[in-house]
Structure 1
């Protein structure tokens, strides 16, 4: 089960169609379920999404499914622009990824903080 941040979802829903237009409201009602599902799938409301608050030493995961084999990474530094983070991937899945991922910069909006319990499980 994927956890989401209810406050982020409610804030988005309150502001998404708040222009007072009845036509837009009606169209929004029809499209709301589809849009919310897409935004949830994209990680827009993820509870542990970084929101740009990463710091060196944080444990992260990449939100793209194809990056799952990289496992849990560690933030080494934040770029001067604040939009990317240098990540090391010491916990990659060796049986699924035959080469060790190199340290690289990744967009912060594509990274998700990992809780302490999840970090410990991977380390064991």
Structure 2
């Protein structure tokens, strides 16, 4: 069977592309790689993180964003458990609410309860 190398990107539905883009940039440090303008309206963006990791695409889709509110859609890998703690400190300094750090199923550290502007949970995970 041919190999798989990981995820290229995850697409997240959002109700307001600009608001979500700004949040993912300010809170998680993502940078815009590409914008999708349709009939003069910003309908999506492709984001990359300068430290690597998965790409994210944000796509205007309010109904799906609302349906996913409260759901933990993605767990983004953090290189070390100590860096999960650094992320908690970073979020606290921003005043960004989260649920703290819990133990993952492999004994790692997981920062839970971080929610984007539509309420979709993004977890930060280190084994």
Which TM-score band applies after superposition, normalised by the shorter structure? under 0.3
Q: TM-score, normalised by structure 2?
A: 0.26
Q: Which has the larger radius of gyration?
A: 1
Structure (1/2) with the larger strand percentage? 2
Structure (1/2) with the larger helix percentage? 1
Q: TM-score, normalised by structure 1?
A: 0.27
